[in-house]
Structure 1
Amino acid sequence: MPGAPEARADRRGGATASAYPAYVAGKLAGAVVSLFAVLVTSFFLFRIIPGDPVKAMTHGMPTSAEQLATLRRQFGLDLPMWRQFTDYCAGALTGDLGMSYQFRAPVGELIAQKLPATLLLTGVAVVIYSALGLWLGTRSAWRHGGTGDRLHTGVALTLWSVPSFWLGLLLIITFSVGVGPIPGMFPTGGMESGDETGVSYVLDVAHHMVLPVLTLVAVGYAQTLLVMRSSLLDEMGSDYLTTARAKGLRDDAVRRRHAVPNALLPTVTMVFINLGHVAAGSILVETVFSWPGLGGLFYQALSVPDLPLVQGLFVVFAGAMILMNLLADLLYPMLDPRVGR
């Protein structure tokens, strides 16, 4: 019968199945629009930075007007702005991000050279502080008001408000230079000593990573903890948790099987945004610790300004964030089927 429960269930299932492709198409269209906005922003934003990149390339050496004009023509800076923009967009869509002014090398190659160091540093940090923040945030919310909750929340709020570069400098002073009875135990910067191979090289890189990873973890775990704690507290008064307890489920099972999955949506968004930061790295932390990654490369490019390199890095950073947000949106219906309907 058309009004039977089975028929209604079939209609709901069919409606959900047809709604999800439309949901995915909408998110993909939004990502494409966002990426185009990034291309437009990256082109015009960095052209308001004061400074002449052609004069910066000469490093203050005496240069005639004819030589400067030749350099501008060589790098396409003598073309009308609309022509530069169309050439830039056409190149970006085909993977050609241009030629760096200061390094005289393709931007794509420079990014590929520095990307592994950034992925190593920020990837390790994101995995550690996401797991730590989720675990401590869940425990703090489930036992809110207790001593542990107040302690974790107070420490998290303090670390979240601390600038990462200031914390990095403080760690360098304390554990690299040494303060009082604390000896200098870690390098002040860089990724390697340069004279190690094999297992010794791996240990050397890990030794150099301790302080920058600790800086990123200290700030990142605080944000994850506070978001997870807030989301779980919103769920704790829900009727379905009371029903689960009335069925005889233990408190740990209620938290793990019912409360935490429903509190994960805001935290999943933040975790995926943090994964987007893996490609972007941390400009301030990499600069403070002289880490040879994309963050330090961006700082170098911005100081010239090296427009093709700055634009290329900006597109990579923003593109990684857009991709991670898209993946988070596509994951939502798996965590909460109501999202994709």
Structure 2
Amino acid sequence: MTTTNPSVARAHEDGRRGGGRRGGRRPGDRSSSVPPYPRAPAYLTYLAGKLSGAVVSLLAVLVTGFFLFRIVPGDPVAAMTRGMPTSAEQLATLRRQFGLDLPVWRQFTDYCGRALTGDLGTSYQFRQPVGELIAQRLPATLLLTGVAVVLYSALGLWLGTRSAWRHGGLGDRLNTGLALTLWSVPSFWLGLLLIIVFSVGVGPVPGLFPTGGMSSGTTTGPAQVLDVAHHMVLPVLTLVAVGYAQTLLVTRASLLDEMGGDYLVTARAKGLRDDLVRRRHAVPNALLPTVTMVFINLGHVAAGSILVETVFSWPGLGGLFYQALSVPDLPLVQGLFMVFAGAMIVMNLLADLAYPLLDPRVGR
């Protein structure tokens, strides 16, 4: 009759379950590290917290949008009737039509009730539903800022990783200096400078591009596409010059923080090529700040650029917001503010939901 030591039997069983490996797991084995994706219960809790925060933010925007623009100086009725002979009775009738004669609390409850049902009201100056005006101007804004965001995000990511990986070199110093200069330049000032140089012409430089607008209105078919692209060059260049600078600097800073990591030394010690170490190890771990900024920039696609669209007379939401604010056209300003802020909140929410896919520790 043979006897078996319980500890020996337990060790033998642990070794068999671990595939013959000592202790069942080897140091550095992926099964002993953080799982590649967060577990479902933890991720659902994380998701619920982010969704509730987004809802609270939207409600805060709803309230802020009402009171913020009522402290803006200006009388909508007086602004719309300026230069026209108008009696006091006619002014009172207009105020009653616009609901400006009601108490503030009544205006607020009516505004919230309509907004929660998707009704953004009717514009004072255009006499159209705000939703229709936004739908008409949205494609122009998506075209302009969408192209610009794609270009400057790709350019900033590429140059930022190159500058960080070869930091201290001549290329890094040139890229960083140019990016800091462009980031500090106001976009409207840069747009005006480009109009003076490339639209009006300075010295030997002729005027090559139109000063504003989206198209000349005299072309159709493929010629119209080329005409719109011709009008887009200067506003897109303005947005790219400022946007790529921010993307480059953030990408460079986050990648420099990862440069001293032990895992990069280990990867090089295994004989991996330098480009492979950068692409597969360093860049993915440095993406979280850059992902946040990219999603915020995607939120700007819907919001547009108020200053750039105004300078180049681009018929988008940014120029429409400037027109509405000059009256002030309260329903239109409030509706655009809701769209702009809502786009940013949604993009921030999507960024938060993407974090656990890039770093499993976030959703745990």
> When the two structures are superposed, what TM-score results if normalisation uses the length of structure 2?
0.90
SS of the aligned residue for 1:115 comes to: helix
- The answer for the alignment partner of 1:236 in structure 2 is 259
- Taking the aligned partners of 1:112 and 1:33, their CA distance within structure 2 comes to 26
- Taking the aligned partners of 2:199 and 2:164, their CA distance within structure 1 comes to 36
Write out the 4+ residue segments of structure 1 that deviate beyond 4 Å after TM superposition.
Answer: 4-10, 12-15
Matched, 1:205 2:228: yes
- Taking the aligned partners of 1:60 and 1:294, their CA distance within structure 2 comes to 27
Q: CA deviation at 1:201?
A: 0.1
Q: Which of residues 82, 91, 95 is equivalent to 1:72?
A: 95
Q: What is the RMSD computed on CA atoms of the aligned residues?
A: 1.8
- The answer for the alignment partner of 2:287 in structure 1 is 264
Q: CA deviation at 1:230?
A: 0.1
Structure 1 or 2, whichever has the larger Rg, is 2
Show the 5 A alignment for 1:21-100.
Answer: 21-100=44-123
Q: Is the 2:43–2:363 contact (alpha carbons within 8 Å) kept by the matching residues of 1?
A: yes
**Aligned residues between the structures:** 338
Q: CA deviation at 1:15?
A: 7.9
Cα deviations across residues 265-314 of structure 1 (Å, max 9, x unaligned)? Answer: 00000000000000110000000000000010000000000000000000
- The answer for the alignment partner of 2:187 in structure 1 is 164
Cα deviations across residues 113-168 of structure 1 (Å, max 9, x unaligned)? Answer: 00000000000000000000000000000000000000000000000000000000
Matched, 1:155 2:149: no
- Taking the aligned partners of 2:38 and 2:325, their CA distance within structure 1 comes to 51
Matched, 1:327 2:350: yes
Q: Which of residues 244, 253, 257 is equivalent to 1:221?
A: 244
Amino acid at match of 1:203: L
Matched, 1:288 2:331: no
- Taking the aligned partners of 1:258 and 1:153, their CA distance within structure 2 comes to 23
- The answer for the alignment partner of 1:175 in structure 2 is 198
Matched, 1:142 2:170: no
- Taking the aligned partners of 2:112 and 2:153, their CA distance within structure 1 comes to 36
* Percent of paired sites with the same residue: 85
Amino acid at match of 1:201: Q
Q: CA deviation at 1:61?
A: 1.4
Q: Which of residues 293, 303, 318 is equivalent to 2:326?
A: 303
Q: CA deviation at 1:89?
A: 1.0
Q: CA deviation at 1:16?
A: 2.6
Deviates more, 1:56-65 or 1:309-318: 56-65
Would the alpha carbon gap of residues 54 and 179 (structure 1) be closer, same or farther in structure 2, given more than 3 Å must change? same
In structure 2, list runs of 5 or more residues that go unmatched.
1-9, 19-23, 26-30
Cα deviations across residues 68-103 of structure 1 (Å, max 9, x unaligned)? Answer: 111111111111111111111111111100000000
Cα deviations across residues 220-243 of structure 1 (Å, max 9, x unaligned)? Answer: 000000000000000000011111
Q: Is the 2:38–2:363 contact (alpha carbons within 8 Å) kept by the matching residues of 1?
A: no
Cα deviations across residues 166-193 of structure 1 (Å, max 9, x unaligned)? Answer: 0000000000011111110000000000
- Taking the aligned partners of 2:43 and 2:52, their CA distance within structure 1 comes to 14
Matched, 1:120 2:143: yes
Amino acid at match of 1:310: V
In structure 1, list runs of 5 or more residues that go unmatched.
none
Q: Is the 2:187–2:238 contact (alpha carbons within 8 Å) kept by the matching residues of 1?
A: yes
- Taking the aligned partners of 2:273 and 2:155, their CA distance within structure 1 comes to 24
- Taking the aligned partners of 1:272 and 1:90, their CA distance within structure 2 comes to 30
SS of the aligned residue for 2:315 comes to: coil
Q: Which of residues 185, 188, 194 is equivalent to 2:211?
A: 188
- Taking the aligned partners of 2:211 and 2:40, their CA distance within structure 1 comes to 55
Would the alpha carbon gap of residues 15 and 149 (structure 1) be closer, same or farther in structure 2, given more than 3 Å must change? closer
- Taking the aligned partners of 1:179 and 1:63, their CA distance within structure 2 comes to 47
Matched, 1:104 2:121: no
Q: Specify which structure has the higher proportion of helix.
A: 1
SS of the aligned residue for 1:226 comes to: helix
Amino acid at match of 1:198: G
Q: Is the 2:38–2:360 contact (alpha carbons within 8 Å) kept by the matching residues of 1?
A: no
Q: Is the 2:38–2:356 contact (alpha carbons within 8 Å) kept by the matching residues of 1?
A: no
